[in-house]
């Protein structure tokens, strides 16, 4: 299984390392049972045509305005829309969430609209306001602990009717999914906790099996 990481700007290298950690066995934090290694390869995607060789795509955190500008220059927007139309899973974290959202506020800006949420940029404050928290997510019907790192994070202000809220912090949705699109306001790649990346790997595996 090959998963692409959009490598135009942001912390794409950390997502690649997180996927590499999924290749090792770990212990399920909710049950204490061993989780088997995941046969996954991370592929750094720098050109639209490279999307054809991967089964899923991660859009990392960074600076959403810069990321969108680079995506436009390299003609990634139609390529990612085609990727999504083919049913291939996409995971956006922080700035990646902003890029995928239906509506963006503070200020308003273009986004792909692939998940029906409204987000407010930098709603958690500046870099010095960054923090780490231990939260819970409901994945595959199980409640599991997840380590969450928030850095200049956006807030999900509205969740559409077709969107499933997978995790909350402070009473607000911080991870959500609509079909093949998964988003998070926090940075799972900044911790040793592979729970979220393993979940995305499973989405990709099932999509590949269906295809």
3-state secondary structure of 118: strand
Query: Which residue has tokens 């061993």?
Result: 34
Residue 16's contacts (CB-CB under 8 Å, 6 or more residues apart) are: 5, 42, 44
Q: Which of 15, 84, 189, 197 is catalytic?
A: 189
Residue 189 catalytic?
A: yes
Torsion of CA 111, 115, 120, 121, to 10 degrees: -50
Q: Which of 15, 94, 197, 201 is catalytic?
A: 94
End-to-end Cα, the chain, rounded Å: 13
CA 60 to chain centre: 7
From the list 50, 107, 41, the residue with the least C-alpha distance to 76 is 50
Q: Which of 15, 84, 169, 187 is catalytic?
A: 187
Residue 201 catalytic?
A: no
Q: What CA–CA distance (Å, rounded) separates 160 from 180?
A: 15
CA dihedral over 104, 99, 165, 117, signed as positive or negative: positive
Residue 94 catalytic?
A: yes
Positions marked catalytic: 94, 187, 189
């Amino acid at each position: 299984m090959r998963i692409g990481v959009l490598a135009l700007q942001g912390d794409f290298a950390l997502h690649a390392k997180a996927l590499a950690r999924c290749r090792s066995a770990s212990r399920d934090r909710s049950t204490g049972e061993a989780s088997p290694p995941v046969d996954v390869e991370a592929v750094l995607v720098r050109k639209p045509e490279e999307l054809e060789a991967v089964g899923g795509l991660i859009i990392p955190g960074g600076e959403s305005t810069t990321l969108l500008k680079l995506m436009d220059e390299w003609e990634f927007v139609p390529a990612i829309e085609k990727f999504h139309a083919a049913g291939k899973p996409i995971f956006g974290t922080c700035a990646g969430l902003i890029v995928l959202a239906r509506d963006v506020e503070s200020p308003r800006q273009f986004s792909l609209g692939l998940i029906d949420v409204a987000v407010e940029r930098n709603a958690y404050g500046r870099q010095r306001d960054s923090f780490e928290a231990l939260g819970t997510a409901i994945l595959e019907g199980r409640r599991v602990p997840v380590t969450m790192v928030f850095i200049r994070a956006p807030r999900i202000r509205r969740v559409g009717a077709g969107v499933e809220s997978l995790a909350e912090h402070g009473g607000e949705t911080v991870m959500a999914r609509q079909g093949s699109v998964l988003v998070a306001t926090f940075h799972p790649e900044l911790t040793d906790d592979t729970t979220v990346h393993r979940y995305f790997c499973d989405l990709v595996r099932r999509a590949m099996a269906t295809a």
